[in-house]
Structure 1
Amino acid sequence: MNRASMAGKTEGKNIRTVVSGYLKYWYLFLIGLCICIGLAFWYLRYKAVPEYQISSTILIKDKDKGEGASGGGESFGDLGLIKPSRNIEDEIGILRSAGLMEKVIKQMDLQVKYYVEGKFDGVEVYSGNLPIRINRADSSYLLPQTFLSVQIKDNNSFVLAEINDGEHGTSSVYQFGELIQKPYGTFTVNRNEEVPVASVKDNIYVTFNSVEGLADYYTGNLSVEPVNDTGSLLFLSLTDPFPQRGKLIMENLIKAYTEKSIFYHNELAHNTINMIDERLAMLTEELTSVEKNVENYKQRNELTNVSSDAELYLQRASQSNQQLADYQTQIDVLNSIETYLAQQGDNAPTVPSTLNIEDPTLVNLISRLNELQLRRRSLLRTTPKDNPLVVEIDQQIKDLRASTLENLRNIKDGLVIAQRNVRQNLQQYESQVRKVPAAERQLLAINREQGTKQELYLYLLQKREEEALSLAAPISNTRIVDAPRAGSYPVSPNKTSIYLGALIFGLFLPFSIVYAKEKINDKVQDRSEIEEYTNVPILGEIANNREKEILVAKKENNTPVAELFRLIRFNLKFISAGKKNKTILVTSGKQGEGKTFFSINLGSSLASSGKKVIVLSFDLRAPKLMNDVGLSDDFGITDFLVDNELQIEDIIIPSPEIEGLYYIGSGAIPPNAGELMLSPKIEFLIKELEQSFDFVIIDSAPIGKVADAYALAPYVDSSVYVIRHDYTKKSELRIIEDIYQKNKLTRPMVVLNGTKTKEAYAYGYGYGQKKAMDRRPAAAFQK
């Protein structure tokens, strides 16, 4: 057989051993499964709250991704000076903001929750299914963690009681719709006429919850995701135990978002109109003054037509002046915007449009600054100034204002340079114009100034009308594609996952207990652990002797213990393989592992097969053999070693129960057992006994405590090291491994004593008591 086949069989054997080790605790796995599946059933039946998914789809006009499917009415949003860009990611953040959800909760009075008594705990009920509904007074704050009990008396009155530590406090009778003022809030209890009073027989329990906590809960359950990567469709989903309430929350959330968007647009339009009105008032005064100057000048000078050359120079000068006027106008606009940017603090106004400044960077910076200022104002309605969010936005506004001012000044510097160049050209034209009569030149200058201001006035007037039109027609950039609707079946809890988890946990928990027990236990449990820690051949296993008899391996006895001794008898013959194996040394690591019991019954089993066997009690320090078989230990080995006149026949005692079995006791306990074990008469004793007996079995002292057994090693043919199940420590297996590696004993073998019957037979026959006699190999009975 090749190495791969051997390795495969060993691995399969180890797996079977591990599995069988856990299967013996099958009852723990059964109990664990029953408990966990029972708990899962109880949780799903009485504790779990089914939740339904409410979903909706909305379209948001996103300029960064195109106009989308916009209708004709949406073009009103493009009027005016300020056209804020809408980014899908930003809109998702607004939809999932806590402030928006808090507004919905307050509008719907969701901080009030209702319960009725269940089998094990209170069961939440949707307010729409109850005959009553609690509404807080305007601007009233309901103290969280307040518990009330409402008992309906009739269609007009009810009993209200506070609950403290599970006990009902003082109760009072109120009329439906009556304003109730309490330390924990001001509210009214209204009658829901759609639900009859008889539908609720028990008390209705009411609790007030924190608006902030509920906002966090619903925001955490809210999912907002783009339908695709290129469009502006958003898919909204929300889970709630009550589909009706979830639909209302979704509808009010979309409505609040739409109203907030319109409010932001209107605020920008109002600020822009105010700035234009200020500028128009200034231009009106300037135009009036210029027009009066023209009128007076013409009356005084009676102007005539100018020559064609003068007209050419004047035309070029006019163009230069027009450019200067345009640059100056742009500089004036930039100065006006700079004035707005210089205003800081809580009352800083929204920066208006850049008018005719065609710089996209400045437009973008001002738009972002306006968005941050509006966001800050929105946060300050519900958040103090020292809130980290407000502080962060303040810093962003400060940084963005500085960047905007720097960009604005750069643009203005560029305009000044361009203006300087045009002015240089203008000086050349004006030198030619000086030939024209001074009066005509002055008149033309006045007309140019008048025309410039007139054009600017008309431009601002047009933009004001556009802003007023967009304000008068507030078209929302949000459109509902799919109205909120709830699923037909709950999405939570997932019964399959819970039962599967209970099944896995029910198996894992007993497995962990058994695994921990096996890891903590440092005692030898089965044959596989011996094979893991040592390479010493295993002679066999002895089942636990439940009858507590010493001599169990009798000829007429068919118990599992007796059968296992017969199997060991056969294994001894098989292991010998024709070699001499008459003298067998039996030892162990410490007392109590059953070496004396093994020696007695091995001798009995060999004698029952027709062999002549003698068992020697060579444990001179703590002898037990003769006492266990009920024989006298007055004379024995120590007496033979110290008394030269004592013969071997004088210390041999035949067994009164087993024919062919003899014993030699240890005799008196010597004070110098170690020195006595070195006596040359020991070799003589063993040699003589080998001549008279088929087997000589030596019950020696524990080898882990004293070295007496090593002194007998030169005189034996094989050695048996007894290990006891659940008694010998795994660390003590190093003793026999050291003996095996260093050849301290002759042909050492291991016997596992005290195992359970099934474990012992796992490496034996695997049969019952009666049938064992028919299935044992014939060689086991050969003499």
Structure 2
Amino acid sequence: METNPVTQQTEETTEEISIRDILISCASHWRWYVATVVVALAVAVLYIKKTQPVYKRDASIMVLERNDKPTVLNQLLNDYVDFGFFADNTNVNNVIAAIKSPDVMSEVVDLLGLDVSYTTRGTFYDKTLYGKTLPVKVVFRDIPKDETASLHIRLEKNGGIKMSEFVKNGKPQNSYDLTCHVGQTVNTPLGRLTIERQPHYPSAVADNDEIDVRKSDNASATGRFLGGLSVEIGDKKSTILDLSYNDVSGKRAEDILSAVIDIYNKVWMKNRNEVSAGATKFLDERLAIIERELDNVDNDISRYKSKNLLPDVEKAYSLSMERADKNSAILLDLNTKLSVAGYIRDYITNRANTNQLLPANMGLDDGKTDGLIDKYNALQLERNSLMVNGGKNNPLVKDIDKALNQLRRSVISSINNMIVSLSTRIGHIQNDEQKTNTDISTNPTQAKELLAVERQQKVKEALYLFLLQKREENQLSQSFTADNTQIVKSPTGSNVPLKPKKGMIMLIALVIGLALPTGVIYLMETTNNKVRGRKDIEDNLTAPFVGEIPLVEEERKGLSALKPAQEKAYGIVVEHGNHNLINEAFRIVRTNIEFLTPQGNGASVQMLTSYNSGSGKTFLAMNIATSLAIKDKRVLVIDGDLRTAGLSRYIGNPKLGLSNYLGRHTDDIDSIICHYETCPGLDIMPSGVVPPNPAELLASDRWPRLLAEMKKRYDYIFVDCPPIDAVADTSIISHYAERTLFVVRAGKLERAMLADLEKLYRSGRLNNLSVILNGTRNAGTPYAYRYGYSYGYGTNPKSNSLIDYFRR
């Protein structure tokens, strides 16, 4: 297969040319960009105007650990830290969860009165009033926290206040208006209301004299304000937390952050003190019991020694005694733990302590048991808090009671397992001790009995001292409890709104304004399967290219320039001495035809045809003939389309014409030739009456005789033919035409048909086929693509600089 070098070269640069085509097409539709950019920017400005500014405030706090306490307190507490109460390794993630809890925000809402909002109606949005902009405050004395209400108030300069538009729980109340004064409590459809004067009254009244007051229920307000709070870890290697809050009022955002920090510290201290108080109560009870038991043991020892006159145990069998001492020490430690475990189990199983906190960190050295106790105490604190607000019938309290019962059973089970383990170890040590006692059997029985009693005394003394030390430690913990956090950065922020970001919005609008027409143009270009211009002809055809004729459009001025271009219907556009774009285009076509037409062999018969109707064959035939006639050439244009007679309309569709001569109704050739009055040297042979058999008439011997006679009279003969393959007429005429001018209409012929046209050219079916491109758009504008007709003919070359850059 023969390869088209032009097409092959085009395929290698398809991507570059496609981008260039799109850029040029975008430039030619500059009016679209103007319209979309203006609309997009207008919408962006309207959006900015209608969006209430949002401000951001930031704060930083440091979660204190054990080493973060003051230096003086460090020295005092370091001696007690190993006992467990001051092991304060705070989990930062737990602190974040506590700060962002609804309970903390609910208290903030109550503290700052955030459930009541104040707005004044503005041009584009309702402005929120707070701080310096809020002149008065409305106190709803009879509206519960779980109900909503709203009203409209108008502030008069004389201190009077007019109230209207009362709404309660979404239902409008009585429509009459009420009047009162600042500081007065008045009965309204919403119950008693008090209008309290704010510090900036009356200076804030001038701009905010009409206020809409809305009271939300506490749960809704808590959820709304909790959504603006953000808490994040500033650095993974530190315990510093970054708090931020976004709000339409910068002052309100600062107050919310400060209140959140203060309330969290208060809640933390309250919970810590409750745990310490529960531990103190338990220690006091156990110390009283141990003290009584220790007194009983001391009395038993005293009576036993008095009764048996027991002397001191001799230091016999030193090795056995050392072993016995070692076993005694182990038994002492195990018995101490066993007693503590027993005390804790008795405390838990006592019904009187059902809803009490369990003693924590009692030195059991069992991580599982200590963890269960800590979990139980935390859940018990949460239950106590819910009991204050909801009572026993609160479903959450019942669920927590079930969880507490399950945890209590788990703690008892864990302690029982510990007691069994300790008892087993004590049994082993006692067996070993019994063997040791056998070695010292020579000692008096009284000495052994006394030793057992003294061992009990030591156990009681050790347990008593341990509990006494824990009580003192707990007292110190309560006395020196400090806040869990320290403020590193107070709530501050910029007065520049976080939202809306005007520059970003305008940039996005500009991008959308540019991208939208670009996308449409790209879609149009990618889906357009029609011939677009000369480039498509050059890339797909090797046939000679005679020239291209631009599309003639109506002249547009002012706002009409933004509307889509409309094609203007023209007849003869070629004029002598006219150097506009269309005339120059036809002069180029004329020159190329003269160059392709051999001289000295009589007139050249050239037919014009196309693949589809509406390609402009008749228009081209008349104007090409006119351009030749202007050069004093004798030109004849024959209307060879006997079916539609399109060319005959130029001279009024005379009844006598080619069909009459071919049909033998006349033999006078001069009678069927019409002289075009406005152009000397141009003659037209109309088609005449539409015959029933055009193909048969053209196939008769009169057609070649007619052409032979016309060649003697004229320099050029143009035959306007029907579309090829539509009827047989064109094929018949082509046998007698020395050259075929094939018209391709831009925007009408599919590019896929160019391959068929190339085959038609290579087959030689049409003599000396040449191509004329008709109807190319923008050929004479600054956005023309690869044409060059505008050079020197009334256009400004400098205005084409950008487009010319893309054409190169």
Q: TM-score range by the shorter chain?
A: 0.7 to 0.9
Equivalent positions of 1:623-662 (< 5 A) are: 623-630=645-652, 632-636=654-658, 638-643=659-664, 646=667, 651-662=672-683
Q: Counterpart amino acid of 2:71?
A: G
> Cα gap change, 1:600/1:393 in structure 2, threshold over 3 Å: closer, same or farther?
farther
Q: Which of the residues 436, 443, 448 maps onto 2:455?
A: 448
Indicate whether 1:695 and 2:716 are aligned: yes
Measure the CA separation in 2 of the matches of 1:396 and 1:417: 32
Equivalent position of 1:566 in the other structure: 587
Secondary structure in 1 matching 2:316 = helix
Q: Which of the residues 591, 597, 618 maps onto 2:640?
A: 618
Indicate whether 1:544 and 2:564 are aligned: no
Equivalent position of 2:147 in the other structure: 143
> Cα gap change, 1:585/1:411 in structure 2, threshold over 3 Å: closer, same or farther?
farther
Worse overlay, 302-311 or 10-19: 10-19
Indicate whether 1:55 and 2:61 are aligned: no
Measure the CA separation in 1 of the matches of 2:795 and 2:226: 74
Equivalent position of 2:102 in the other structure: 98
Indicate whether 1:133 and 2:137 are aligned: yes
Measure the CA separation in 2 of the matches of 1:324 and 1:579: 139
Q: Which of the residues 702, 706, 709 maps onto 2:730?
A: 709
Equivalent position of 1:419 in the other structure: 426
> Cα gap change, 1:538/1:503 in structure 2, threshold over 3 Å: closer, same or farther?
farther
Show CA shifts across 1:64-83 (max 9, x none): xxx24743336659766443
Alpha-carbon contact 1:155-1:197 (below 8 Å) kept: no
Q: Which of the residues 460, 472, 495 maps onto 2:479?
A: 472
Q: Which of the residues 764, 767, 772 maps onto 1:750?
A: 772
Worse overlay, 327-336 or 524-533: 524-533
Measure the CA separation in 1 of the matches of 2:405 and 2:699: 101
Equivalent position of 1:765 in the other structure: 789
1:238 positional shift: 2.8
Q: Which of the residues 72, 84, 90 maps onto 1:86?
A: 90
1:104 positional shift: 0.9
Secondary structure in 2 matching 1:257 = helix
Measure the CA separation in 1 of the matches of 2:540 and 2:392: 71
Measure the CA separation in 2 of the matches of 1:368 and 1:521: 72
Worse overlay, 270-279 or 686-695: 686-695
Alpha-carbon contact 2:637-2:719 (below 8 Å) kept: yes
Secondary structure in 1 matching 2:333 = helix
> Cα gap change, 1:291/1:12 in structure 2, threshold over 3 Å: closer, same or farther?
closer
Alpha-carbon contact 2:606-2:738 (below 8 Å) kept: yes
Secondary structure in 1 matching 2:26 = helix
Equivalent position of 2:467 in the other structure: 460
Measure the CA separation in 1 of the matches of 2:742 and 2:505: 53
C-alpha RMSD of matched pairs (Å): 4.8
Alpha-carbon contact 2:536-2:751 (below 8 Å) kept: no
Indicate whether 1:307 and 2:314 are aligned: yes
Show CA shifts across 1:157-212 (max 9, x none): 64332356999932234565566677868763322355337844722221224544
Q: Counterpart amino acid of 2:548?
A: G
> Cα gap change, 1:400/1:414 in structure 2, threshold over 3 Å: closer, same or farther?
same
Indicate whether 1:71 and 2:79 are aligned: no
Show CA shifts across 1:26-84 (max 9, x none): 3443344444444544555x444444443333221236xxx247433366597664435
Measure the CA separation in 2 of the matches of 1:578 and 1:459: 131
Secondary structure in 2 matching 1:621 = coil
Secondary structure in 2 matching 1:600 = helix
1:286 positional shift: 3.0
Equivalent position of 1:777 in the other structure: none
Secondary structure in 2 matching 1:309 = coil
> Cα gap change, 1:312/1:447 in structure 2, threshold over 3 Å: closer, same or farther?
farther
Q: Percent identity?
A: 27
Equivalent positions of 1:652-691 (< 5 A) are: 652-674=673-695, 676=697, 678-679=699-700, 682=703, 685-686=706-707, 689-690=710-711
Residue segments in structure 1 that go unaligned for 5+ positions in a row: 773-783
Show CA shifts across 1:412-443 (max 9, x none): 66544533431221120232454433333222
Q: Which of the residues 197, 202, 219 maps onto 1:196?
A: 202
Q: Counterpart amino acid of 1:58?
A: I
Q: Counterpart amino acid of 2:201?
A: V
Equivalent position of 1:224 in the other structure: 231
> Cα gap change, 1:708/1:454 in structure 2, threshold over 3 Å: closer, same or farther?
farther
> Cα gap change, 1:751/1:394 in structure 2, threshold over 3 Å: closer, same or farther?
farther
> Cα gap change, 1:572/1:176 in structure 2, threshold over 3 Å: closer, same or farther?
same
Alpha-carbon contact 1:603-1:613 (below 8 Å) kept: yes
Q: Counterpart amino acid of 1:273?
A: T
Show CA shifts across 1:696-745 (max 9, x none): 3221112374353244444434433434466x2x5x44334312234354
> Cα gap change, 1:630/1:734 in structure 2, threshold over 3 Å: closer, same or farther?
same
1:616 positional shift: 2.2
Equivalent position of 1:439 in the other structure: 446
1:287 positional shift: 2.7
Indicate whether 1:607 and 2:615 are aligned: no
1:767 positional shift: 5.5
Q: Counterpart amino acid of 2:469?
A: Q
How many residues of Structure 1 are paired with residues of Structure 2 in the alignment? Answer: 762
> Cα gap change, 1:205/1:458 in structure 2, threshold over 3 Å: closer, same or farther?
same
> Cα gap change, 1:734/1:525 in structure 2, threshold over 3 Å: closer, same or farther?
closer
Secondary structure in 2 matching 1:237 = strand
Alpha-carbon contact 1:240-1:246 (below 8 Å) kept: yes
Measure the CA separation in 1 of the matches of 2:101 and 2:542: 70
Alpha-carbon contact 1:32-1:510 (below 8 Å) kept: yes
Measure the CA separation in 1 of the matches of 2:694 and 2:6: 51
1:258 positional shift: 0.9
Q: Which of the residues 253, 259, 263 maps onto 1:252?
A: 259
Worse overlay, 611-620 or 134-143: 134-143
> Cα gap change, 1:752/1:265 in structure 2, threshold over 3 Å: closer, same or farther?
same
Equivalent position of 1:170 in the other structure: 176
Worse overlay, 160-169 or 50-59: 160-169
Indicate whether 1:208 and 2:215 are aligned: yes
Measure the CA separation in 2 of the matches of 1:185 and 1:231: 52
Q: What is the TM-score normalised by the length of structure 2?
A: 0.79
Measure the CA separation in 2 of the matches of 1:378 and 1:142: 19
Q: Counterpart amino acid of 1:454?
A: E
Q: Counterpart amino acid of 2:95?
A: E
Q: Counterpart amino acid of 1:161?
A: S
Alpha-carbon contact 1:543-1:753 (below 8 Å) kept: yes
Indicate whether 1:107 and 2:129 are aligned: no
1:137 positional shift: 4.8
> Cα gap change, 1:410/1:585 in structure 2, threshold over 3 Å: closer, same or farther?
farther
Show CA shifts across 1:533-563 (max 9, x none): 8777472114427675523324355554333
Secondary structure in 1 matching 2:304 = helix
Q: Which of the residues 594, 599, 624 maps onto 2:616?
A: 594
Secondary structure in 2 matching 1:622 = coil
Measure the CA separation in 2 of the matches of 1:583 and 1:392: 105
Residue segments in structure 2 that go unaligned for 5+ positions in a row: 555-567, 797-808
Measure the CA separation in 2 of the matches of 1:711 and 1:308: 147
Measure the CA separation in 1 of the matches of 2:8 and 2:666: 63
1:658 positional shift: 3.1
Show CA shifts across 1:645-703 (max 9, x none): 94766654444443333333334433344555555665565566456543332211123
Secondary structure in 2 matching 1:169 = coil
